Amino acid sequence: MILIASGAFIFGIIIGSFLNVVIHRVPRDESIVYPGSHCASCGHSLRAFDNIPLISYAILGGKCRDCRAAISPAYPLVEFLTGAVFVLIVLKGGLGWESLLEMIFASAMITLVFIDARHHLIPNVITYPAIVFSLAAITLRGGWGRPEPSSFGISIIFQSLDHEFPALRAALIGSAFIALAAPLFRFIDNLDLILFNKYFEWEEMEEEQVIDPKGEIEIDIDSERSQNRVIYSSMIAGLVLAALWAFAVIKFSPADGGPFDDGYNSLLGGAAGAIIGGGLIWTLRALYFYIRGFEGMGLGDVKMMAVIGAFLGWQSMFGVMLLGSILGTAIGVALALRARKGLRTPLPFGACLGLAAIIIMFTSKPMITWYLNSGR
């Protein structure tokens, strides 16, 4: 087990090094592939021995070898945190594809946590693919892995009262949830702009950029096209996965459903989690806006919570919200005291939700199992 944990940690810090690239470049609309790793201050390309996770930072004393500019401690923190989380994942679930799915989810959360903490931004280029991945992942984990215990099956709303697995209904409803996840995000983006009186302001800003004589619009257009490619690719991926689900259910599911029944249950639980989690945050966001007159949370928080709900299921939403609120309160008070701006101090609530989601990922199943057993 020590050897497995060590391997997981090494793998984690390597992934964490890549996450640092994503965290630094995505908010700046830069490619995560080209150019190679370089100093953010002087632009010198990093040598291979200066790019070893954790070790290079310690050897260099947290400074660039060429210009001696300070390197943010966030870099080794991301690497160490990713490695530690990966170790906990394999200790909890061992080696296997389920642990790999949890590693991918945790990596997305860590990335969003640090981007939101630094820039107060939750990029669409991460949340759109993440919602499709989360729904597919919870389906696989439920049907062909270790199904999460639940107090009742939400799928009874969509199933017949008889004992035969409704394959056609499961194929249609399940594929609809997977296929429509990313398009619904797009719809919510536009609807939110209208409801919060930003849509027409955004159109006016876009028109002004088109006639800008400095040529900056080319950069904006490239950025918009790059984001749209990711968004539309996520939609296509959702359609492909939906088609695969429908085909597999109709072609291979036995009369009693077997693993497809558990997978369908989990998929519906993930869809419910996305709706409940995202809907709750959006409602709070709307109430805060119309009462206070300014935004308390961004739409990115809504989509991030939907991603969390889709992966962890509706059963975990209360725990994520409660823990996220506790973390948010503690961090918010600390930031307010430091900045002396009171309630106007910006709070990266998405970062709090991401940390809460990682913690709940390790604790939700034991908590639910304890609750069910205590009620018997």
The pLDDT, as a whole number, for residue 208 is: 43
The pLDDT, as a whole number, for residue 214 is: 43
pLDDT band at residue 207 using 50, 70 and 90 as cut-offs: very low
The pLDDT, as a whole number, for residue 292 is: 76
Mean pLDDT of 256-260: 85
> pLDDT (tens digit, 9 = 90+) per residue, 28-78?
888 888 877 888 778 788 888 888 899 999 998 888 888 888 888 999 999
The pLDDT, as a whole number, for residue 28 is: 85
> pLDDT (tens digit, 9 = 90+) per residue, 125-174?
999 999 999 999 999 998 887 655 544 455 555 554 455 778 888 899 99
Mean pLDDT of 214-230: 59
> What pTM does this model have?
0.86
Structure tokens at 373: 């057993």
Mean pLDDT of 286-297: 78
Segment among 203-217, 228-242, 338-352 with least mean pLDDT: 203-217
Q: Over 80: is that where the pLDDT of 80 sits?
A: yes
CA distances from 249 to 120, 142, 244, 262 (A): 41, 14, 9, 12
> pLDDT (tens digit, 9 = 90+) per residue, 86-136?
999 999 988 899 999 999 999 999 999 999 999 999 999 999 999 999 999
Q: Over 60: is that where the pLDDT of 215 sits?
A: no
Q: What is the mean pLDDT of the chain?
A: 83
Q: Over 90: is that where the pLDDT of 274 sits?
A: yes
Mean pLDDT of 256-280: 91
Better pLDDT: 66 or 283: 283
pLDDT band at residue 244 using 50, 70 and 90 as cut-offs: very high
% the chain with pLDDT above 70: 82
The pLDDT, as a whole number, for residue 374 is: 58
Q: Over 90: is that where the pLDDT of 190 sits?
A: no
Segment among 54-58, 206-210, 241-245, 291-295 with least mean pLDDT: 206-210
Mean pLDDT of 367-372: 54
- Three-state secondary structure along the chain? CHHHHHHHHHHHHHHHHHHHHHHHHHHHCCCCCCCCCECCCCCCECCHHHCCCCHHHHHHCCECCCCCCECCCHHHHHHHHHHHHHHHHHHHHCCCHHHHHHHHHHHHHHHHHHHHHHHCCCCHHHHHHHHHHHHHHHHHHHHHCCCCCCCCCHHHHCCCCCCCCCHHHHHHHHHHHHHHHHHHHHHHHHHHHHHCCCHHHHHHHHHHHHCCCCCCHHHHHHHHHHHHHHHHHHHHHHHHHHHHHHHHHHHHCCCCCCHHHHHHHHHHHHHHHHHHHHHHHHHHHHHHHHHHCCCCCCHHHHHHHHHHHHHHCHHHHHHHHHHHHHHHHHHHHHHHHHHCCHHHCCCCHHHHHHHHHHHHHHHHHHHHHHHHHHCC
pLDDT band at residue 375 using 50, 70 and 90 as cut-offs: low
